[in-house]
Amino acid sequence: MSDRFDLLLRNGTVVSHDGIFQADIGVVSGRIAAIGQFDSGQAGEVVSLDGLHVLPGVIDTQVHFREPGLEHKEDLQTGTEAAAMGGVVAVFEMPNTRPSTANEAEIAEKLRRAAGRTHADHAFFVGATGSNTEELPYLENLPGVAGVKLFMGASTGDLLVDDDARLGEVLRHGRRRMSVHAEDEPRLRARRDVASSGGGAELHPLWRDAESARLATERLLRLARAAGRRVHVLHVTTAEEMELLAAHKDIASVEVTPQHLTLAAPEAYERLGTLAQMNPPIREARHRERLWRALRAGVVDVIGSDHAPHTLEEKRKPYPQSPSGMPGVQTLLPLMLDHVNAGRLSLLRLVDLTSAGPARIFGIAGKGRIARGYDADFSVVDLKRRWRIEESWLRSRCGWSPFTGMEVTGRPVMTVLRGRFSMREGELSGHPGQPVRFQEALPRS
């Protein structure tokens, strides 16, 4: 009798849209074939998951892996190694590389570079430049493209689109949900002197203040509604934005990061200095608490890491010469599991924010659920394991984390990507990632 399953995951606690229950999962040809109770003799490989929880594979929809052009900080291989080590099965990579990802050839080049080198499935955003507006409806539907990324502030190269006329034009060109970095560039320019007034990184949230974020988000919502375009507001940081976004859920989805849910000013800047510097900034505890309230109320749709590594040498430059950004793809799941254990959110809510939510918001095909026919993507975690985040565990080329030394409860122990282990008890397998499939993607000619 031939094997029924290629892989059988035995006796894990499954966390899915159907609830939390103990079951076996059978995998055939990289997809979930059955969920239930099965005989070990029915599988080519059997792995016992006694005492472990099986989550749908975590999807991180905001990472900056720096390739091409900035590989001294990170590249597609090292970034996805960090992803797999942290229980992440798929990543959406941002366009602010060198050159920017803003046309078909640059998308094709990223896909070529990723082929055979990544430890996670992957998709790439195409950046709106203001000069490629007419091409965006075509570009956003190419295979391997996660959608369009729009920078209203704080971008590099030609990716900044900060005036209402060009913003409106970009929003009117295309149908897929557009991801937006919402900071008000005119206000940032007007307040630049705050950053250079002689202090350290503690000035960062004063320069890029809450009003800069609120103004941009308010403008975005007005323009998006006029254009009839769905938008996804990235890394929301303020109480005031959450009030706005709660009233516009018909057109706007919302992302928050583990960093903004975990760190707060002024303590983060006192302890970490420029290592705590990111855009939008780490803000005061009142904003952090409002993010948590919005998350529990259902206003937040997605947790993304905004993984944006720089070398320690770069980060240790005096503020404001120091670059903004910190690594996060590997610590996303450990931090959020720690919050689950602290009672700040439920395990089912975490799953929605890290797998089902991304699949729903971006129209991902075949991922985000533990269900028959879906990709056999799993983040297997030891929910009660208490451990310390150490530099030796980190795989990002930058080699540091703002959370180094932090004790957390809950650890990713296995990452299963389309039915094969990309990580197992701290060891990477080298199972290569593939482009993420989307429901609206067109065939490449």
Q: Which helix (H) or strand (E) holds 343?
A: none
Mean pLDDT of 150-169: 86
SS3 207: helix
Least confident residue range of 5-14, 99-108, 392-401, 433-442:
433-442
Band (421; pLDDT cuts 50, 70, 90): very high
Regarding whether 118 and 200 lie in a shared domain, the answer is yes
Strand partners, 109: none
**pLDDT attached to residue 190:** 96
What whole-number distance in Å separates Cα of residue 241 and Cα of residue 169? 23
Q: Is residue 442 one of the residues assigned to a domain?
A: no
The neighbouring-strand residues paired with 326 are 307
- Clarify whether residues 229 and 334 are in a common domain: yes
The answer to whether residues 355 and 386 belong to one domain is: no
Greatest Cα pair distance, the chain, in angstroms, is 76
- Tens digits of residue pLDDT in 105-129: 999 999 999 999 999 999 999 999 9
Residue 19: CA atoms inside 13 Å, Cβ hemisphere, count? 3
Q: Residue 444 domain-assigned?
A: no
Q: Are 213 and 128 found together in one domain?
A: yes
Cα angle value 161/180/445 (rounded, 5°)? 85
In angstroms, the CA 435 to CA 115 distance is 9
In this predicted structure, the answer to whether residue 444 has a pLDDT above a threshold of 60 is no
Model-level pTM greater than 0.95? yes
Model pLDDT, residue 162: 85
Q: What is the pLDDT of residue 437?
A: 97
Q: Which of 317, 342, 362 is the last residue of a domain?
A: 362
Q: Tell me, what CATH number does 22's domain have?
A: 2.30.40.10
Structure tokens at 173: 């060109």
Q: Which of 136, 180, 126 is nearest to 304 (CA)?
A: 180
Is residue 104 domain-shared with residue 182, that is, in the same domain?
A: yes
CATH code at position 202: 3.20.20.140
Q: Domain residues for 388? A: 5-54+373-428
Residue with tokens 């602010």: 96
Q: How far apart are CA 366 and CA 353, in angstroms?
A: 17
Classify residue 83: in a domain, yes or no: yes
Same domain assignment for residues 246 and 181: yes
Residue 270 forms part of a structural domain: yes
Mean pLDDT, residues 375-402: 98
Query: How far is 269 from 288, CA to CA, in rounded Å?
Result: 15
Residues 34 and 171 grouped into a single domain? no
Residue 410: CB partners within 8 Å, gap ≥ 6?
333, 334, 337, 338, 340, 341, 381, 382, 383, 384, 385
Flag whether 438 is in a domain: no
Amino acid in the structure at residue 339: H
For residues 368-387, one letter each, b for 16 or more C-beta atoms within 10 angstroms of the residue's C-beta and e for the rest, the string is bbbeeebbbbbbbbbbebee
Residue 445: per-residue pLDDT = 46
**Which of 390, 396, 316 has its CA nearest to residue 60?**
396
Active-site pick, 209, 301, 306, 352? 306
List beta partners, residue 435. Answer: 122
298 occurs within a structural domain: yes
Q: Collapse the DSSP code of 405 into the 3-class scheme (helix H, G, I; strand E, B; otherwise coil) and give the result.
A: coil
Q: In this structure, are 183 and 323 located in the same domain?
A: yes
CA distance 168 to 418: 39
Please give the pLDDT value at position 17.
87
Task: Read off the DSSP letter of residue 124.
Answer: E
Residues 350 and 238 in one domain: yes
Q: Is the CA virtual torsion 259, 15, 143, 78 positive or negative?
A: positive
pLDDT band at residue 1 using 50, 70 and 90 as cut-offs: very low
pLDDT, tens digit, 9 for 90 and up, residues 314-324: 999 999 999 99
pLDDT band, residue 131 (cuts 50/70/90): very high
Same domain, 203 and 224: yes
Whole-angstrom distance, CA of residue 244 vs CA of residue 128: 24
Residue 24 has pLDDT above 90, yes or no: yes
Spatial contact of 136 and 148, defined as CB atoms under 8 Å apart: yes
Number of domains in the chain: 2
pLDDT at 130: 85
Contact of 293 with 256, CB cutoff 8 Å: no
> Does one domain contain both 305 and 174?
yes
162 is catalytic: no
Tens digits of residue pLDDT in 329-356 = 999 999 999 999 999 999 999 999 999 9
Residue 437 lies in a domain: no
Beta strands 427-428; 420-424: pairing state? antiparallel
Q: Is residue 435 part of a domain?
A: no
Q: Mark whether 86 and 50 lie in a shared domain.
A: no
DSSP string, 231-287: EEE-S---HHHHHHHHTTTTTEEEEE-HHHHH--BTHHHHHHGGGG--SSPP-BHHH
pLDDT over 70 percentage in the chain: 97
Sequence-ordered list of residues with C-beta below 8 angstroms from that of 215, at least 6 positions apart, any chain: 184, 187
